Amino acid sequence: MSAAARIESIQAREVLDSRGRPTVEVEISVAGGWVGSAIVPSGASTGSHEAVELRDGDLRRLRGRGVRQAVGNINHLIAPHLVGQDAANQVTIDALLISLDGTRNKSRLGANAILGVSLAAARAAASAMRLPLWRYLGQGRVLPLPMINVISGGLHASHNLDFQDFMIMPVGAASYSRALEMSLEVHWAVHDLLLERELSTLKADEGGFGPALPDNRAALDLLMAAVERAGYRPGDEIAFALDAAATHFYRPEQGRYDLASEGRMCDVSELIDLLAAWVANYPIVSIEDGLAEDDWAGWRELTDRLGGAVQLVGDDLFTTNPQRVRQGVDQGIANAVLVKMNQIGTLTETLAVIRLAREAGYRPVISARSGETEDSTIADLAVATNAGQIKIGSLAQSERLAKYNQLLRIEDALGAEAQFAGWRDLSPAGSRSAGSAVG
Ligand code: PGA
Ligand code: ZN
């Protein structure tokens, strides 16, 4: 084969993620001595419809969390089939990976094994073409509006709060770099307020603060105080976004949601009432996983009630899976899709879900996982696809900053060509203008 990016070797190994847990790294060498590598992220508040992350399960080693099987699958089962292929032929490579696996949820070879190879191939092809990944992947010029974690709860912070992410969106920023500056000032203001109130400033999994607050609403009040302390107008300049991650406090046996930090169980209508009250009282423009992953009837009610006012993002609901996104679109549920590459397992399928969401008028939000690494692929993906929004975590910890910093580099490289996705520029969904959000 005369392909410029002919794969010569594939080498996988076990490395560690930001929680110190094993994950898969893959290096692919192509003709000409070019190399591409990728490291796969890992979730904690995972959805049950995600592609399968293969863990060794051998309790004698690393509590069963090792990924030696996934690594072995790459080195011994996948590599022999891919050597000689053109790394630039992403669709062919991903189709080969999917057929080698042969299962519906990538449980044989492991979605962690498959995604590592898929991304390393893209990186190897990009380097062989002397292109940065974002240029190799697409024509995009739009820096995404970040959704930045400030206060963490749920599974990422030992259940101090029921809701998982209390985030800010710097909707008043005119550029990506300015958006980061504004967000840092709010992040630091939260830090000062926590010290003044003698609350913990320790960080949760995604680098957000994980203080022991009396209830979920106290986190919103703290954010309000911090935005004002930093000198910004809530709503106009800094809006709020939530990830309830409600799957993880849903109790299927009772069909109710357990707001443990508030000492009450509520049914679906009560939880929607609570969210609606918050939307009325705080500058919230986006709510992710407001209800549990399979509560389709509840989601319908949630979308009817709030879908015209705010962005409703499906994470555990959709799991970056085209069938589930299609079902949501057909039923008019949610209006945005969280895109996590390891929920589906290949780059080609990820790009297809982004396309599918767009065509249906649903906004894509490119997202990291709570277990991350120095791999910054999602930054490149967000720009290449003009996704418009990205969710990386807090402005702390190098596994998060690897992505935020990569976006600064891309902004710099684009220079005058760089565009920034302001809230108002984002097409359909969540029609509420950020400026009118308070009240
Ligand atoms: P996870 O969290 O990576 O632990 O799933 C991120 C999210 O829920 O959005
Ligand atoms: Zn989520």
- CA of 369, nearest ligand number: 1
pLDDT at residue 438, rounded to an integer: 30
Does the beta carbon of 18 lie inside 6 Å of ligand 1? no
User: Which residues have CB atoms below 5 A from the ion given as ligand 2?
Assistant: 243, 315
pLDDT at residue 166, rounded to an integer: 98
Q: How far apart are CA 135 and CA 81, in angstroms?
A: 28
Nearest ligand 1 atom to alpha carbon 370: 3
Separation of 196 CA from ligand 2 center, angstroms? 30
Does the beta carbon of 245 lie inside 6 Å of ligand 1? yes
Separation of 370 CA from ligand 1 center, angstroms? 5
Residue 42 falls in which region: left (phi positive, over 0), alpha (psi -120 to 50) or beta? beta
Q: How many CB atoms lie within 10 A of CB 217?
A: 18
pLDDT at residue 159, rounded to an integer: 77
Is 0.85 surpassed by the pTM of this model? yes
pLDDT at residue 425, rounded to an integer: 75
Q: How far is CA 354 from CA 337, 392, 418, in A?
A: 8, 17, 21
Q: How far apart are CA 201 and CA 190, in angstroms?
A: 9
HEC states along the chain? CCCCCEEEEEEEEEEECCCCCEEEEEEEEECCCEEEEEECCECCCCCCCCCCCCCCCCCCCHHHCCCHHHHHHHHHHHHHHHCCCECCCHHHHHHHHHHHHCCCCCCCCCHHHHHHHHHHHHHHHHHHCCCCHHHHHCCCCEECEEEEEEEECHHHCCCCCCCCEEEEECCCCCCHHHHHHHHHHHHHHHHHHHHHCCCCCCECCCCCECCCCCCHHHHHHHHHHHHHHCCCCECCCEEEEEECCHHHHEECCCCEEEEHHHCEEECHHHHHHHHHHHHHHCCEEEEECCCCCCCHHHHHHHHHHHCCCCEEEECCCCCCCHHHHHHHHHHCCCCEEEECHHHHCCHHHHHHHHHHHHHCCCEEEEECCCECCCCCHHHHHHHHCCCCEEEEECCCCHHHHHHHHHHHHHHHHHHHHCEECCHHHCCCCCCCCHHHCCC
Does the beta carbon of 370 lie inside 6 Å of ligand 1? yes
Question: Which mutation among 315, 344, 378, 392 tests ligand 1's pocket best, with the greatest number of atoms within 8 A of CB?
Answer: 315
Backbone phi and psi for residue 189, each to the nearest 5 degrees, phi listed first:
-65, -40
pLDDT at residue 316, rounded to an integer: 98
- CA of 393, nearest ligand number: 1
Per-residue pLDDT tens listing for the chain (439 residues): 456 899 999 999 999 999 999 999 999 999 999 999 999 999 999 999 999 999 999 999 999 999 999 999 999 999 999 999 999 999 999 999 999 999 999 999 999 999 999 999 999 999 999 999 999 999 999 999 999 999 999 998 887 899 999 999 999 999 999 999 999 999 999 999 999 999 999 999 999 999 999 999 999 999 999 999 999 999 999 999 999 999 999 999 999 999 998 899 999 999 999 999 999 999 999 999 999 999 999 999 999 999 999 999 999 999 999 999 999 999 999 999 999 999 999 999 999 999 999 999 999 999 999 999 999 999 999 999 999 999 999 999 999 999 999 999 999 999 999 999 988 777 665 444 443 333 2
Residue type at 191 in one-letter notation = H
Does the beta carbon of 378 lie inside 6 Å of ligand 1? no
pLDDT at residue 439, rounded to an integer: 25
pLDDT at residue 433, rounded to an integer: 46
